[in-house]
Amino acid sequence: MKKSPLQRVRSEYQPKLPKALQGPVKVKLGEATESVADQEEIKKLFPHTYGMPVVQFESTDEPERVEEPFNVGIILSGGQAPGGHNVVSGIFDGLKRLNKENRLYGFLMGPSGFINHQYMELTAGYIKEYRNTGGFDIIGSGRTKLETPEQFEEGLKVLRELNIKALVIIGGDDSNTNAAVLAEYYQNIGAGVQVIGVPKTIDGDLKNKWIETSFGFDTACKVYSEVIGNIQRDCNSAKKYYHFIKLMGRSASHIALECALETQPNVCLISEEVLAKRMTLDNIVSYLCYVIAERAKLGWNFGTVLVPEGLIEFIPSMKDLISELNDVLAEKGGELEGLEPHEKLEKIEKMLSPANADLYKSLPRHIARQLSLERDSHGNVQVSLIETESLLSEMVAKRLAEMKENGQYAGKFSAQHHFFGYEGRCADPTNFDADYTYALGFNAAMLINAGLTGYMSSVRNLTEKSEEWIAGGIPITMMMNMEKRHGHMKPVIQKALVNLNGRPYLKYASMRETLALNTLYQYPGPIQYFGPSEICDRPSMTLLLEHDKEV
């Protein structure tokens, strides 16, 4: 593989490990755990893996080498996130420290490789090419949902064939939910296979006290912030456009909020706030028009607006519509197959309750069509396919024209649209993500060696130097609650949305009015891998603020 000069130098970077993982470890057991909600139901569904204790690794002088070598399999699941390759190299190095004969296998293209027995052995030479690089191309990823006993049994065949004693699933909340279900299944049948999860997603919504952030969030936000900064310079130079910038993140607005803290745009919409204030689409449009009209009075017909990709699902009336659409598509999707697009929309309209049918009819047709597209394998609306940024700017343009006629607005409005998502998911990890992912992987190898199953790799204390990070594991069941998916109640990991009482949101909210009616853009510039630690190793503003640090 031909490498760029930066790739060549960066491949030599040795990620730092927490002190506790630098030598032999012993396990310290904590208190028994409970799920975050719906304890009775979750306990019933996970009789073998519910209530297990939190574990922490500590250094020990006892020898650690494992006499009997063992094999491990890994699956990269869902959307790419920077640092995935370092999770793999961390697991590999951890396994090799335990016993040089241990082997690592990668299932190809996500869970489907596990079910269909497509795999490769990951050797030292192969992994070397991928150290500290972005992407999941080392083995590929996929979104097949691992959920049926038939799939688990098919997978078990290949695990037996390869003499694999543990499977590591590197994924987001849905994939880690699957990891918990699989762990429970294998425990129940006495398969003798452990399952360990690793918290991945740029969305930043897989977090709690023990999982302080999911990997990839830091790098992805820094990539988006760099480009938003560049757009803001352009915007402030030409002074003629409003840039509507949609940012990935699925439901939660963590990415948009982090980028707003980094770049200080004129407006950043926060979906969770829209829901809490029960705002309508009309309220949002009115707020944007207010800002645009006020800026026009100051002679500024330009600005930047950050839009979280999941916004539409948080507008209460839209949320009701989407929820009914989810049920309709899950239950009656077959009746819609083969219909022309306009026939499909008409048929769906008839299947909806009157209030939702009215709202559905009132939407621009391209947005109604995007809302009716097939759900992903977990039953989620594919929000990245809905052009919320253009929906908003179209509605704003229409309202401003009306305001102009009424003499309420005298400016010029011209919009540009952007969507940043895929651009950041495979970036080379920041030092933070490179170290964090390597530690998560290395730690997963130690969880396996400790004989644990149904656990998620947990590395915390992340705003301190990496040597001071705390390594261990938490039972996945403790993060679960019951939610409706595909029309049925299912146990799933609870998503962490933006906390409206949390410091990151409050910090932004305190600056909002000033940022809207001034031009105070911040330009973060590109990710730095070499140079002063305060620039190269700085974690996200979200993490710093959540840990009561100064920013």
Residues annotated as catalytic (active site), given as ranges = 203
Q: Closest separation between CB of residue 374 and ligand FBP, Å?
A: 12
Distance CA 203, CA 269 (A): 16
Tell which one of 90, 135, 172, 473 touches ligand FBP (CB under 6 A): 172
Instruction: Select from 187, 218, 252, 230 the least CA-distant residue to 52.
Output: 187
- Give CA–CA dist 178/480, Å, rounded: 11
Nearer to ligand FBP, 48 or 375 (CB): 375
CA distances from 44 to 184, 186, 216, 464 (A): 11, 16, 34, 39
**Do residues 141 and 80 lie in contact, with contact meaning Cβ atoms separated by under 8 Å?**
yes
Residue ranges in 116-194 assigned as alpha helix (H):
124-128, 149-161, 173-188
β-bridge mates for residue 22, sequence order: none
**Contact mark string toward ligand FBP, 120..149, x via CB under 6 A:** -----------------------x------
Any residues with CB less than 8 A from the CB of 299 and at least 6 apart, and which? none
Give the H/E segment covering residue 10: helix 5-10
Determine contact, residues 546/508, Cβ cutoff 8 Å: no
Among 15, 18, 73, 79, binds ligand FBP (CB under 6 A): 79
Nearest distance from C-beta of residue 248 to ligand FBP, angstroms: 4
* x/- track of binding to ligand FBP for residues 498-537 (CB under 6 A): ----------------------------------------
Q: Is 78 in the site for ligand FBP (CB under 6 A)?
A: yes
**Closest approach of ligand FBP to the CB of residue 269, in Å:** 16
In whole angstroms, the minimum distance from the beta carbon of 216 to ligand FBP comes to: 7
Under the binding rule (CB under 6 A), the answer on residue 75 touching ligand FBP is no
CA pair distance 58, 470, nearest whole angstrom? 9
Find residue 57's DSSP bridge partners. 27
Under rule CB under 6 A, which residues in 199-238 are in contact with ligand FBP?
Answer: 201-203
| Site for ligand FBP, residues 266 to 285, rule: CB under 6 A | none
For ligand FBP, the closer of residues 93 and 258 by Cβ is 258
- For position 352 contacting ligand FBP by CB under 6 A, the verdict is no
Q: Name the residue nearer to ligand FBP (CB basis): 80 or 232.
A: 80
Choices 242-250, 355-363, 428-436, 500-508 (CB under 6 A): range interacting with ligand FBP? 242-250
Stretch that binds ligand FBP, among 52-60, 144-152, 243-251, 434-442 (CB under 6 A): 243-251
Shortest distance, position 518 Cβ to ligand FBP, whole Å: 31
Residues 493/271, Cβ–Cβ less than 8 Å: no
Binding residues among 293-312 for ligand FBP as defined by CB under 6 A: 309
> β-strands 103-107, 119-121: how paired?
antiparallel
Handedness of CA 355, 357, 360, 362 (dihedral sign): negative
**What residue spans of 517-540 are helical by DSSP H?**
533-536
* Residue number with CB closer to ligand FBP (201 or 356): 201
Two structure tokens written together for 80: 């790419």
Residues in contact with ligand FBP, counted by CB under 6 A, come to a total of 16
Please, what's the b/e burial string for 401-424 (b: 16 or more CB within 10 A of its CB; e: otherwise)?
eebeeeeebebebebbbbbbbeeb
Q: Which of 249, 308, 429, 454 binds ligand FBP (CB under 6 A)?
A: 249
Phi, psi of 6 (to 5 degrees): -65, -40
Smallest distance from ligand FBP to CB 128, Å: 26
For the CB of residue 271, give the shortest distance to ligand FBP in the complex, in Å. Answer: 13
Residue 220, amino acid: A
In this structure, what DSSP letter does residue 19 have? G
Closest CA relative to residue 169, chosen from 250, 244, 239, 74:
74
| Cβ neighbours of 359 (radius 10 Å) | 17
Only segment of 87-95, 244-252, 366-374, 408-416 that touches ligand FBP (CB under 6 A) = 244-252
Give the span between the Cα atoms of 425 and 421, in whole angstroms. Answer: 7
* Residue choice 146, 267, 383, 479 for contact with ligand FBP (CB under 6 A): 383
- Backbone angles phi and psi of 289, in degrees to 5: -65, -35
Q: Residue 242 or 432: which CB sits closer to ligand FBP?
A: 432
Q: Which range binds ligand FBP by CB under 6 A, 55-63, 76-84, 130-138, 153-161? A: 76-84
Q: Of 411 and 424, which CB lies nearer to ligand FBP in the complex structure? A: 424
Phi, psi of 58, rounded to the nearest 5 degrees: -130, 155
Q: How far is the CB of 259 from ligand FBP (least distance, A)?
A: 13
Q: Smallest distance, Å, CB 466 to ligand FBP? A: 23
Restricted to residues 402-421, the positions that interact with ligand FBP (CB under 6 A) are: 421
Contact residues: ligand FBP, CB under 6 A = 78-79, 81, 143, 172, 201-203, 248-250, 309, 383-384, 421, 425
